[in-house]
Amino acid sequence: MRALAQVPASKSESNRALIMQALAGGGTLRNLSDANDTQLMQRLLQNPAAPVFDAEDAGTVMRFLTAYLAMTGRQAELTGTARMRERPIAVLVDALRALGARIEYLGESGYPPLQLGGLTPQPAPDEEADFRELTVRGDISSQYISALLMIGPTLPQGLRIWLTGKVGSRPYIRMTQALMQHFGAVCRDLGEVLEVRPQAYQPTDYTVEGDWSAASYWYALVALAPEGSHLTLPTLRRYSWQGDQAIVGIMAQLGVHTEFLADETLRLTKTKPVTQLTQDFTDCPDLAQTVAVVAAALGVPATFTGLDSLRIKETDRIVALQTELAKFGGALTDRGEGRFEVTAENFQVENQTVATYHDHRMAMAFAPLAMLGPLTIQAPQVVRKSYPQFWQELGKVGFAIEGVEEEAV
């Protein structure tokens, strides 16, 4: 295989930059993601006086807009899909209430939909206090923490967040802070304490990088390709803010060598994989499905930790992986205490049908198995959430893609 594939712009960077642009009141954003989540965020931010905001199935949209709308004093309903109404949001709501936001649950307590009722007038800032202070669990979605960080500069005393417990997905927190600083905010990461100074965002231009999460599927394709295969990917930075750049080191163990070329371009080359793999996904949980599928397909026994957040994503990704890997002869076994093992016995790809559970990453994690044989991906349109052109790009590198419009590939 010798090919070039295009990856979309980073959804994570795009959605953070859109919130900061709105808080700054200007600036030009280039190369925004064409993912549904980002297009949705743009539409909702363009109509700030709407009585209802529908975040659909987009976690960043729900969490970031909850903080943005609440702390800018908007009065509106914030809702989402049936699955979104099953995803907890109490940690964020409790923190925002402590900052003066009036938020009520319209259904089950602790879950969307929410009724935002503006801000409660706050007493004059305590001149002796350096910051408004919050204590937030670190072992929940980093999106809650990012949502709070982004509104920190708008508070009269700024914000100090004390993180308790093990902090997951920290690279996403660092990405948020780096973008905040690009837009003129002053913030510090002191480990278990995050500090944001009260300083208004400045209208600033920014060009969004390519998406490393999306690049992981091309890494998977090369890992399953014949030895010596090459693939080129543009728009990816060697020094990236994205935690999912960890795929470079992970896939080096599964037989993919990365060479960084000029102009933010990299070339992937298939080599030999290791005989076993141990990986902690605490900082990059969105890579777990892809790596599990590749390890099983290559017959490389793997031990995974740091999968806690997978159960509250678009679906319960642990159960989904277990169910779908079993169709091919693979297994994801829970060994307790947060440890999972990936194994495979006579792994075969022979026209199986993969269910996607309304989850874009299930579709794209299993699609590279087409390198080993034909298969069907149910509801392939789920990829529009983060990578709308995924099937077209697969077709360009030589795969026969059929029936995308008819819910099968």
Q: List the chain pLDDT tens, one digit each, 409 residues.
A: 778 999 999 999 999 999 999 999 999 999 999 999 999 999 999 998 999 999 999 999 999 999 999 999 999 999 999 999 999 999 999 999 999 999 999 999 999 999 999 999 766 666 666 899 999 998 888 899 999 999 999 999 999 999 998 887 889 999 999 999 999 999 999 989 999 999 999 999 999 999 999 999 999 999 999 988 999 999 999 989 999 999 999 999 999 999 999 778 999 999 999 999 999 999 899 999 999 999 999 999 999 999 988 887 778 999 999 999 999 999 999 999 999 999 999 999 999 999 999 999 999 999 999 999 999 999 999 999 999 999 999 999 999 998 775 444 4
- State residue 263's pLDDT score: 76
Out of 211, 283, 286, 359, pick the active-site residue.
Answer: 286
CATH 3.30.43.10 fits 10-207, yes or no: no
**Per-residue pLDDT reduced to its tens digit, 20-79:** 999 999 999 999 999 999 999 999 999 989 999 999 999 999 999 999 999 999 999 999
On the 0-12 / 13-18 / 19+ scale of CB atoms within 10 A, 123 is exposed
Q: Are 380 and 408 a contacting pair, CB within 8 Å?
A: yes
pLDDT of residue 174: 94
| Residue entry with tokens 């777990």 | 288
pLDDT number for residue 299: 97
| 212-406 matches 10-207 in CATH topology | yes
Burial of 39 (0-12, 13-18, 19+ CB in 10 A): middle
Q: Strand pairing of 187-189 and 132-137?
A: unpaired
Residue type, 137: R
- Sign (positive/negative) of CA torsion 223, 229, 235, 241? positive
Q: Are 365 and 217 in contact (CB under 8 A)?
A: yes
CATH class of the domain defined by 212-406: alpha beta
Token pair for 45: 């931010």
Three-state SS annotation for the chain: CEEECCCCECHHHHHHHHHHHHHHCCCCEECCCCCHHHHHHHHHHCCCCCCEEECCCCHHHHHHHHHHHHHCCCEEEEECCCCHHHCCCHHHHHHHHHCCEEEEECCCCCCCCEEEEEECCCCCCCCCCCCEEEEEECCCCHHHHHHHHHHHHHCCCCEEEEEECCCCCHHHHHHHHHHHHHCCCCEEECCCEEEECCCCCCCCCEECCECHHHHHHHHHHHHCCCCCCEEEEECCCCCCCCHHHHHHHHHHHCCEEEEEECCCEEEEEECCCCCCEEEECCCCHHHHHHHHHHHHHHCCCEEEECCHHHHHCCCCHHHHHHHHHHCCCEEEEEEECCEEEEEECCCCCCCEEECCCCCHHHHHHHHHHHHCCCEEEECHHHHHHCCCCHHHHHHHCCCCCCCHHHCEC
Residue 125 pLDDT: 64
Domain spans in the chain, listed from the N-terminal domain onward: 10-207, 212-406
CA 1-227-261 angle, 5° bins = 65
Instruction: Respond yes or no: is residue 286 known to be catalytic.
Output: yes
